[in-house]
A and B are shown apart, each in its own frame.
Chain A
Amino acid sequence: MSAILVATGAYYTWLAMTTIVGYRECVAEGAAREGFELTFPLWVVTAIDGPDRYRISKVIRDVPIEGSTAEIAEGSTVSVIGHFRASDGVVVQSVREVHVLRVYKELLGIVGTVLALLALPFGFRLRAGKVVERG
């Protein structure tokens, strides 16, 4: 079963890295990808370069976006849909959502993770090397 799980993970990784056309592929193929629509869900703003230019990062660092920088700052989480412009490798933003509450959601995630780990000994115990649920 562990081999099946590892194989599934490897297949997913292969799909994610080879079959999805992203910013990297657009840059590599240049003019052939002019106007190609790209989606960046939940990326982090890593630089503001001017009133209409910023950069976002996730698995790729510093993807340049052309679009209003109103309501965003370095560290903001945004989802962006835009079109690739081959001449300068910039993504021209057409839709953007600023995830204002993302920081609170991440905080709740951290609190939840810590609470889950702290609660483990109250829910389970070890007996003869095996886990047993209490109660």
Chain B
Amino acid sequence: MADLITHACTALLAKAPYRRPVHVATFLAGTCLPDLIGRVPAMALTKLRYTLPAIPEALVYPWNVVHMPFGLLCTAYLLTFVFREGDRPPVFRNLVGGGLLHLAVDLLQFHFGVGYLLLFPFSTWDYEIGCIGSEDTVRIVPVLAPFTALVCWLRWRSSEGDLVR
């Protein structure tokens, strides 16, 4: 996984070209979803097991399916039920869109061992493009974050102008 700052920046940049971007927060939430539900609990439990070995190993693994397209679709569908009924279709689209953007960015990374199981549970075929190292996004953030902030500010200024006109 790339870091969440990089994912958030790519989400904001993906929405920036729209004249009147809508559901930005939902798209952003969708971009964070695979890591927040699919990775953070697994990583926290792995570290907790160092001090509390009684925690069953089986609790570490199942979260990972949220970091796969099928698990992401299921999770996004379930999350739509906390929204009002009329809002659910666009919320679902934006959660899934953000999540898929997250996976696309992660696919760029190279890892030792197994890549991303894109077709799980239907297949255990794994894939990654592998053109950047797994920590290379750390080097990108100092440029990407200010650039994203600048784009968002320019976008906000132009939309203010639209409203005045």
Chain B interface mostly helix, strand, loop or mixed?
A: helix
A13, B61: Cβ atoms under 8 Å?
A: yes
Chain A residues 9-58 with CB under 8 Å of chain B are 9-13, 15-17, 39-42, 46, 57-58
Which of B5, B46, B83 is in CB contact (< 8 Å) with A112? B5
Interface size for chain B: under 10, 10 to 19, 20 to 34, or 35 or more residues?
Answer: 35 or more
B83, A131: Cβ atoms under 8 Å?
A: yes
B91, A133: Cβ atoms under 8 Å?
A: yes
Q: Is B107 an interface residue (CB 8 A)?
A: no
Interfacial chain B residues near A123, Cβ < 8 Å: 24-26, 28-29
**Closest residue of chain A to B74, judged by CB?**
A5
Chain B residues 1-33 with CB under 8 Å of chain A are 3-8, 22-26, 28-29, 32
Q: Is B148 an interface residue (CB 8 A)?
A: no
Give B residues with C-beta under 8 Å from A: 3-8, 22-26, 28-29, 32, 35-36, 40, 46, 49-50, 53, 57-58, 60-65, 70-71, 74-75, 77-78, 82-84, 87, 91, 111-113, 120-121, 124, 134-135, 137-139, 141
